[in-house]
Structure 1
Amino acid sequence: HKVYEDDEVFAFLDIHPVNLGHTLVIPKEHHKDLLSTPTELAQKLIIAVQKITPAILGAVGSEGFNLGVNNGESAGQVVFHTHVHIMPRFSQDRHALWNGKEMSQDELKEVADKIKSNL
């Protein structure tokens, strides 16, 4: 069920929603994932997400939302076309998206330094 469309972006309800109103926002032009999507098109995708999300929240009476972008099989990507999940959240829905890990300040500094050196 389509909820939004413009010249470059299309949005529709997920067929296996985590909650009522779970919507996928995709570029019409094919790119396998977010990292292969041209920057200008990725910006238009996020602008569409900003436009669509308040309408979704109002329609379902949601108290918040999560955005999801799965890139690569190890991240759970099964459809290899760039897409953003808008998942409305409710205080009683009990969906856990991830469990955080305890890390020392030394471990955090080490990975931060590696990321900065890769930029």
Structure 2
Amino acid sequence: MAYEENCPFCNPEKDTEQNIVFENETCYFLQHNLQQDVLEGCGVIVPKKHRVHAFELTKEEWNDTYELLQSAKEFLDGKYSPNGYTLGWNVGEVSNQSIMHSHLHVIPRYSDEPLAGRGIRYWLKQPVNKRETRKQQ
């Protein structure tokens, strides 16, 4: 199986900081063992094979990601009763991908959060994020 020695998602069973909640043939749903996340219940879905980003996933890995996403939602709804979810892929360092192993963030959201209602598009549309120059097409 393709893996990288220093990648925390390649061998999650050996990493004491994360827990395999669910798995299927090609993917894991992982959560941190330590309560590092600000919002409780956060997790990631990762392929078992080392894939740098979502564009490298096979059709089977996409289907298995979908299957785990449904299982994760049912689990998180039952355990935490969130009011919504933010789901997201970061691809490349410029999009804030810090671990170069493809992972889908599954983030439960709660109506009593100070930043409730502010999802991905809110932050991207802020005036401070406007590029000074744009390439001409």
Same fold (TM over 0.5): yes
Q: What is the DSSP-based 3-state SS (H/G/I as helix, E as strand, rest coil) of the residue aligned with 1:87?
A: strand
Shift of 1:93: 1.0
Compute the RMSD of aligned alpha carbons.
2.1
Give the letter aligned to residue 101 of structure 1.
Answer: K
The answer to whether the 8 Å contact 1:57/1:64 transfers is no
Structure 1 unaligned blocks of 5 or more: 103-113, 115-119
Q: What is the DSSP-based 3-state SS (H/G/I as helix, E as strand, rest coil) of the residue aligned with 1:46?
A: helix
Structure 2 unaligned blocks of 5 or more: 1-18, 127-136
Q: Following the alignment from structure 2 to structure 1, what is the Cα–Cα distance between the partners of residues 39 and 94?
A: 23
Does 1:97 find its partner at 2:119? Answer: yes
Percent of matched pairs sharing the same residue: 23
TM-score, reference length from structure 2: 0.66
Does 1:29 find its partner at 2:53? Answer: no
- Deviation readout 1:70-118 (Å, 9 max, x if unpaired): 111111001111111110110011333342639xxxxxxxxxxx9xxxx
Shift of 1:39: 2.7
- Deviation readout 1:36-82 (Å, 9 max, x if unpaired): 11233122212211221121122012111111111111110011111
The answer to whether the 8 Å contact 2:21/2:30 transfers is yes
TM-score, reference length from structure 1: 0.75
Give the structure, 1 or 2, with the largest relative contact order (CA under 8 Å, sep 6 or more): 1
- Which of the numbers 66, 73, 78 marks the counterpart of 2:86? 66
